[in-house]
Amino acid sequence: MKIDRCVCHEKSFAYLLKVAEDHDCASLESLQKHVTFGSTCGLCHIYIERTLKTKEVEFYQVLQAETPSPKHKH
C-alpha cells in the first residue's frame, strides 16, 4: 500500500512539500496557512511531518510516532 497524499483533501505529499519549500514552512501548522489539508481525519499529519523533516513523499508502511526514518537507521 502506498501512502502519498492527504486523502481527505486530495493533496499529495509531493505537492505539500513544494508549497512548504516555496513558503519556507518548517511545521505542519505554518504549512496549513498556505494550503488546506489535514483538517478532516488528521491521519496524514504524521506523514506530512515526516515529509517536512526528511523530504520523503511516499510511504509504504503505516507510521507511528516512533517509527524511525529509513534515512536515520542506526
d(CA 2, CA 38): 18
Task: Name residues contacting ligand FES, limited to 5-44 (CB under 6 A).
Answer: 6-9, 37-38, 40-44
Nearer to ligand FES, 30 or 40 (CB): 40
Nearer to ligand FES, 26 or 41 (CB): 41
Residue 9 main-chain phi, psi, to 5 deg: -115, 10
Cα-based distances in Å from 64 to 13, 35, 49, 55: 17, 24, 12, 17
Check residue 62 for interaction with ligand FES (CB under 6 A).
Answer: no
Q: Which residues bind ligand FES (CB under 6 A)?
A: 6-9, 37-38, 40-44
